[in-house]
A and B are shown apart, each in its own frame.
Chain A
Amino acid sequence: MWNTIIVQPLTNLLVLITMLVKNFGIAIILFTIIIKLVTHPLTAAQLKSTQAMQKLQGDPRYKKLAEKYKDDKQMLAQEQMKLQKELGVSPFGSCLPTLIQLPIIFGLYQAIMKAMASTPFELKILKDILYPFINPANVLPINNRFLWMDLGQPERLNLFGIPIPVLAIVVVITQYLLSKVMEAPSAGQDDQAAAMTKSMSMMMPLMMGWMAFQFSAGLALYFVVTNIVTTVQYSIQGRTDWSKILPFLKKSDRSTPSIVDVKSTQVVNKPGSTQYIEVPEDDDEEEATPTPAKVSKPSARSASKQLRPKRKK
């Protein structure tokens, strides 16, 4: 069932692309990009939802709840849920797109593993799952050579007699960059949460690098392409915070206090729900009376700012 619905179609797609471009490395790159494009709406929905949650966590009322009910977890959960409901934020909003994507991600991984068959046993399995319109005699074995790499085996580049795991290093770098640009804004998070986010940013690249070091180069290549494409996806959506890796992009440029046009500032709201506007971080609640001025688009830049309800007259 799993194989028939997910792995087999993906494997056949990868083999077809390989037949067309006649290069397995390029095929993996194209295949990963195609799948990422197909799943882009899910990624976008996930990103939106994640950002809404991040903003919510920056809301002073959210913090106040945490403070108020610090000794009563049950009450805290109830009140937080109320607030989430009021703001139209679903705590599971980012889970569903992720859950839908997960089988595709696992399938993608398995498809690449299957296509890199390097033993007679694996070749037989691959041959048996190819659709009838693909002649195994024409396409198998797939040539695993790409640049200096044998994609079916762990990659090492011999420099002066020292085997360097170049691809694993690239995986670490791209994963680190991705983690940094995706890192949730620390404003609004408590110290421990911020520390955990930082810890994840450090540990994830190391974990992925270790996997790339151990796995076949084809999979490491897939990790690299995925990291790059995901970074681009985040950038396109304006979700990246480049100042975290490019310090010369001053954060202050982007954290200009805001200024709101309620109609266009509907970051997290459902139609009909309370509307929230962005205000400077250091503003006091009483001073938050909105002063309509310029349009403020929702983006990662504004993620660090606090949200407050517009008072309805």
Chain B
Amino acid sequence: MISKKFLVSIGLLTLALALTGCAVGPRAESAPGLSTDGESVYLANRTFVYKVNQSGTEIWHYPEKSSPAVMFYAAPFSENGTVVFGDLANKFHALSSDTGVIKWQYLDAKGWFMASADADAGLIIAPSLDRSVYALDEAGKLLWKYDGKFGFLAQPVITEDHVIIASQEHEVFALNKQTGELVWNAQTSGSMNASPLFDPTSGLLFAGGMGHEVVALDEVTGELKWKFDHSGQMSAIWSTPILVDGNLIVTDDKGTIYAINPDNGNLNWTIATNEVMMAGPVAIENGFVVVSIAGNVRAYGMNQTPKWTLSLVDAQVYTTPVLAAGNIIIANKTTKNENLMFAVDQNGVQKWAFTPPTN
């Protein structure tokens, strides 16, 4: 007969396992990471990274078998046949973008990778939540490392001479691309969780954050060119602004769309959608699209007129959409393994929804 002692022990062990994770793995919740190489789409969602073609069919997924200890939320970055991304098991991966076969891994980080990487001419910049920015070469060898005071959430921007980082430490800073030394830093009013936008024509960086303002900085010196907060009425900004037809388009989390003159920071116009937004705008032909957390997609022309609206059923959207092969790709935050992405054409017609084949 089984003793009570044995049963109690088994019961406690089961409870521990159940509480910890059904539970073996990182205890973090996030929205999917989404990116494109212009044609195909990459999606990092929970235990897999997917590459999907323009008709919504999976090309490959990585890893072959999922593990609850390894989660992916950082949007993959694809360049020159290699796609790079980090995970929440402190590993940074480089795969062949054609086959999804692993090329190398960087294993010396001490924290999760939530931010998307950036790469340019063989230099890969990978910011981590361990408060370090890692610069790797094409073979995954560490070139330099920059240590900050907070973990990094925003994708870096590589310019001609600098690596630009928007930081949770209430600042934007520039590192020397070759050495990783700090070149300049510019204080902001709040934490910066989204990547800045770099306009090579004007040489300005545009960034918004939890300080309820948008700043324009000189990329070379970090000098503040202008600041816009709509007289204190702006709310927090969680996404990267876009430039469309001479307007800097910014959305805040109260669902207000601002069109700002990028030269001087003057307000051109606003649209109040009155919907909560975390995802940023995406440019389309003659206008732009915004998506609310509730999954309502709205397209506007540059004369502020609504072009069309579409409600995605059972969708929660926290990730900025991308434009791939002419379609607007929208990632869905869902715990179900279905409808992870929707493709909508530029007339507001849903083309496909991506449900991975059984993994």
Contacts and interface: CB of A to CB of B under 8 A. Distances in A.
B193 A199 contact: no
Contacts of A211: 16, 19-20
B30 A216 contact: no
Contacts of A216: 27
Nearest to B30: A119
A203 B9 contact: yes
Contacts of A121: 29-31, 278, 318, 333
B28 A119 contact: yes
Give the size range of A's interface with the partner. Answer: 20 to 34
A207 B12 contact: yes
Interface stretch (B149-157, B262-270, B302-310, B350-358): B149-157
Please classify the interface of chain A as helix (H, G, I), strand (E, B), loop, or mixed, using the class held by over half of its residues.
helix
A137 B53 CA distance: 40
Interface in A55-77: none
B143 interface: no
Contact of A118 (B12, B114, B253): B114
B12 A203 contact: yes
Contacts of A207: 12-13, 15-16
B190 interface: yes
B290 interface: no
A214 B20 contact: yes
A144 B112 CA distance: 14
A112 to B, nearest CB: 11
A199 B5 contact: yes
A203 B17 CA distance: 13
Given A137-B189, A203-B8, A211-B19, A120 B129 contact: no
Contact of A120 (B9, B12, B30, B212): B30
Looking at A136, A137, A144, the one whose CB has the most chain B CB atoms below 10 A away is A137
Given A118-B129, A203-B13, A214 B24 contact: yes
B168 interface: yes
A141 B21 contact: no
Give the size range of B's interface with the partner. Answer: 35 or more
B20 A210 contact: yes
Contact of A196 (B5, B13, B26, B253): B5
A143 interface: yes
Nearest to A127: B236
B23 interface: yes
Nearest to B278: A124
Interface in B5-57: 5, 8-9, 12-13, 15-17, 19-21, 23-31
Given A137-B190, A143-B149, A210 B16 contact: yes
Interface in A186-235: 192, 195-196, 199-200, 203-204, 206-208, 210-211, 214-216
Interface in A124-179: 124, 127, 136-137, 140-141, 143-144, 150, 152-153
A123 interface: yes
Nearest to B213: A137
A306 B163 CA distance: 76
Contacts of B21: 214
Given A199-B9, A200-B8, A214-B23, A120 B153 contact: yes
Interface string B176-196: 000000000000011101100
B238 interface: yes
Contacts of B12: 200, 203-204, 206-207
A119 B111 contact: no
B211 interface: yes
Contacts of A210: 16-17, 20
Contacts of B318: 120-121, 124
A207 B23 CA distance: 13
A122 B28 contact: yes
A218 B12 CA distance: 23
B267 to A, nearest CB: 21
A113 interface: yes
B275 interface: no
A122 B17 CA distance: 24
A199 B8 contact: yes
B65 to A, nearest CB: 21
Contacts of B333: 121
A245 B194 CA distance: 53
B210 A127 contact: yes
A307 to B, nearest CB: 26
Interface of B: 3-5, 8-9, 12-13, 15-17, 19-21, 23-31, 73, 111-112, 114, 129-130, 149-151, 153, 168, 189-191, 193-194, 210-212, 236, 238, 253, 278, 318, 333
Given A137-B189, A152-B151, 7 more contacts: A118-B112, A119-B28, A119-B153, A124-B318, A150-B129, A200-B12, A215-B27
14 contacts: A120-B30, A120-B153, A122-B29, A123-B191, A127-B236, A137-B212, A150-B130, A150-B151, A192-B3, A196-B4, A196-B8, A199-B5, A203-B12, A214-B21
Interface of A: 113, 118-124, 127, 136-137, 140-141, 143-144, 150, 152-153, 192, 195-196, 199-200, 203-204, 206-208, 210-211, 214-216
Closest 7 CB pairs of A and B: A137-B190, A207-B16, A119-B30, A214-B20, A203-B12, A199-B5, A121-B30
